[in-house]
A and B are shown apart, each in its own frame.
Chain A
Amino acid sequence: MTTVFAPGRLASLLIALLSCAPPWAWSQTEPAADLAGPSDGWRWRPSLFVLGAYEYNRGLTVVGVSSSSASSSDLRPAIALGLEAARSGSRGGFQGEVSLLGRDPFDSDARAILFDGRAHAFRSLGSRWRLELDEALRLERREALPRGDFDRQQAQATLEYRGARGPAYRLQFADRRLRLPNTPALDVAQHTLALGVWTGTGGGASVEAKAVFRRFGEAALERNHFAAAFEATHVQAQGLLALRYHFSAALGRRPTPTEALVPVPNVALLAGRAPELLPEVPLADALDDEAESWPARQEHQLSLYGSRTFGQGLRFTVRAQVRWLRDREPLQKGLPGFDDRRWHLRATLRWRLSHHSALIAQAVHASETGNPAMPELVRSQVFFGVQLR
Chain B
Amino acid sequence: MRGVLVLALLALLAGPASAAGSERDRQIEALRAERDTRAQEASRLADEIARLKASTRGPRAGGELELKLRAFDRVARRLDELERRLARLETASGRLPGGLDEADLRPLLDIAIGPTDLGPALDAKIVLLQAEHQRGTTQSEQLGAALRVLALRLETKERQAREAETARRDAGTALPLLRRQADELKIELHELQSSRAVVQRRQGELARELATIEQRLAEAERRRAGAGSTSP
Q: Which residues of A contact B (CB under 8 A)?
A: 21-22, 27-31, 33, 35-38, 88-90, 93, 95, 97, 118, 120, 122, 127, 132, 134, 136, 154, 163-165, 198, 200-204, 206, 208, 231-233, 235-240, 242, 244, 287-291, 303, 305, 307, 309, 311-312, 315, 317, 319, 321
- Taking chain B's interface residues, is the majority helix, strand, or loop, or is none over half, making it mixed? helix
Q: How far is the CA of A136 from the CA of B168 in the complex (A)?
A: 13
Taking a contact as CB atoms closer than 8 A, the residue among B85, B162, B174, B186 that contacts A88 in the complex is B186
Find chain B residues with CB under 8 A from A242 CB.
167, 171, 175, 177-178
Find chain B residues with CB under 8 A from A29 CB.
166, 169
Residue of A nearest to B58 (CB): A311
Q: Which 7 A-B pairs have the closest CB atoms?
A: A289-B174, A237-B159, A38-B190, A36-B162, A36-B165, A231-B177, A164-B88
Q: Is B59 in contact with chain A by the CB < 8 A criterion?
A: yes
B181 & A31 in contact (Cβ 8 Å cutoff)? no
Find chain A residues with CB under 8 A from B178 CB.
233, 242, 305
Q: How far is the CA of A118 from the CA of B178 in the complex (A)?
A: 14
Find chain B residues with CB under 8 A from A317 CB.
170
A37 & B186 in contact (Cβ 8 Å cutoff)? yes
Find chain B residues with CB under 8 A from A307 CB.
163, 166-167, 170
Q: Is B161 in contact with chain A by the CB < 8 A criterion?
A: yes
Q: Is B104 in contact with chain A by the CB < 8 A criterion?
A: no
Once A36-B165, A90-B191, A236-B160 are accepted as A-B contacts, the answer to whether A204 and B77 lie under 8 Å apart by CB is: yes
Q: Is B184 in contact with chain A by the CB < 8 A criterion?
A: yes
Once A90-B190, A206-B181 are accepted as A-B contacts, the answer to whether A237 and B163 lie under 8 Å apart by CB is: yes
Q: List 26 A-B contacts (CB under 8 A).
A: A21-B172, A27-B170, A27-B172, A29-B166, A30-B166, A36-B158, A36-B186, A37-B162, A38-B193, A95-B165, A136-B172, A200-B184, A203-B81, A206-B177, A231-B175, A233-B164, A239-B163, A244-B175, A289-B172, A290-B174, A291-B173, A303-B171, A303-B175, A305-B175, A309-B159, A309-B163
Least distance between A173 CB and chain B CB atoms (Å): 13
Find chain B residues with CB under 8 A from A206 CB.
177, 180-181, 184
Q: How far is the CA of A28 from the CA of B166 in the complex (A)?
A: 7
Interface residues on B, range: 35 or more
Least distance between A50 CB and chain B CB atoms (Å): 20
B156 & A240 in contact (Cβ 8 Å cutoff)? no
Find chain B residues with CB under 8 A from A231 CB.
175-177
Find chain B residues with CB under 8 A from A203 CB.
77-78, 81
Find chain A residues with CB under 8 A from B169 CB.
21-22, 27, 29, 31, 97, 118
Find chain A residues with CB under 8 A from B189 CB.
37-38
A305 & B171 in contact (Cβ 8 Å cutoff)? yes
A240 & B175 in contact (Cβ 8 Å cutoff)? no
Least distance between A32 CB and chain B CB atoms (Å): 9
Find chain B residues with CB under 8 A from A22 CB.
169
Q: How far is the CA of A348 from the CA of B161 in the complex (A)?
A: 20
Q: How far is the CA of A206 from the CA of B164 in the complex (A)?
A: 12
Taking a contact as CB atoms closer than 8 A, the residue among B156, B177, B186 that contacts A237 in the complex is B156
New A-B contacts (9) at CB < 8 Å, excluding given A203-B81, A206-B180, A242-B175: A30-B166, A36-B161, A36-B162, A37-B189, A38-B190, A203-B77, A203-B78, A287-B174, A289-B172
B60 & A311 in contact (Cβ 8 Å cutoff)? yes
A305 & B170 in contact (Cβ 8 Å cutoff)? yes
Q: Is B71 in contact with chain A by the CB < 8 A criterion?
A: no
Q: Is B41 in contact with chain A by the CB < 8 A criterion?
A: no
Most buried by B among A35, A36, A291, A315: A36
Q: Is B138 in contact with chain A by the CB < 8 A criterion?
A: no
A33 & B162 in contact (Cβ 8 Å cutoff)? yes
Least distance between A149 CB and chain B CB atoms (Å): 20
Q: How far is the CA of A287 from the CA of B167 in the complex (A)?
A: 14
A311 & B59 in contact (Cβ 8 Å cutoff)? yes
Residue of A nearest to B170 (CB): A27
Find chain A residues with CB under 8 A from B180 CB.
132, 198, 206, 208
Find chain B residues with CB under 8 A from A88 CB.
186-187, 190
Once A36-B161, A231-B177 are accepted as A-B contacts, the answer to whether A28 and B77 lie under 8 Å apart by CB is: no
Once A27-B170, A93-B186, A203-B77 are accepted as A-B contacts, the answer to whether A233 and B60 lie under 8 Å apart by CB is: no
A122 & B73 in contact (Cβ 8 Å cutoff)? no
Find chain B residues with CB under 8 A from A38 CB.
186-187, 189-190, 193
Find chain A residues with CB under 8 A from B191 CB.
90
Most buried by A among B73, B78, B81, B163: B163
Find chain B residues with CB under 8 A from A235 CB.
160, 163-164, 181, 185
In residues 72-126 of chain B, which contact A (Cβ within 8 Å)? 73, 77-78, 80-81, 84-85, 88-89
Least distance between B198 CB and chain A CB atoms (Å): 13
A33 & B158 in contact (Cβ 8 Å cutoff)? yes
Find chain B residues with CB under 8 A from A289 CB.
172-175
Find chain A residues with CB under 8 A from B179 CB.
120, 132, 134
Q: Is B194 in contact with chain A by the CB < 8 A criterion?
A: yes
Q: Is B183 in contact with chain A by the CB < 8 A criterion?
A: yes
Taking a contact as CB atoms closer than 8 A, the residue among A31, A118, A244 that contacts B165 in the complex is A31
Find chain A residues with CB under 8 A from B187 CB.
38, 88, 90, 93
Once A231-B175, A233-B177, A303-B174 are accepted as A-B contacts, the answer to whether A202 and B81 lie under 8 Å apart by CB is: yes
Q: How far is the CA of A120 from the CA of B165 in the complex (A)?
A: 12
Residue of B nearest to A128 (CB): B88
Find chain A residues with CB under 8 A from B84 CB.
200, 202
Most buried by B among A240, A307, A309: A240
Once A118-B172, A309-B163 are accepted as A-B contacts, the answer to whether A233 and B190 lie under 8 Å apart by CB is: no
Once A27-B170, A38-B189, A319-B170 are accepted as A-B contacts, the answer to whether A93 and B194 lie under 8 Å apart by CB is: no
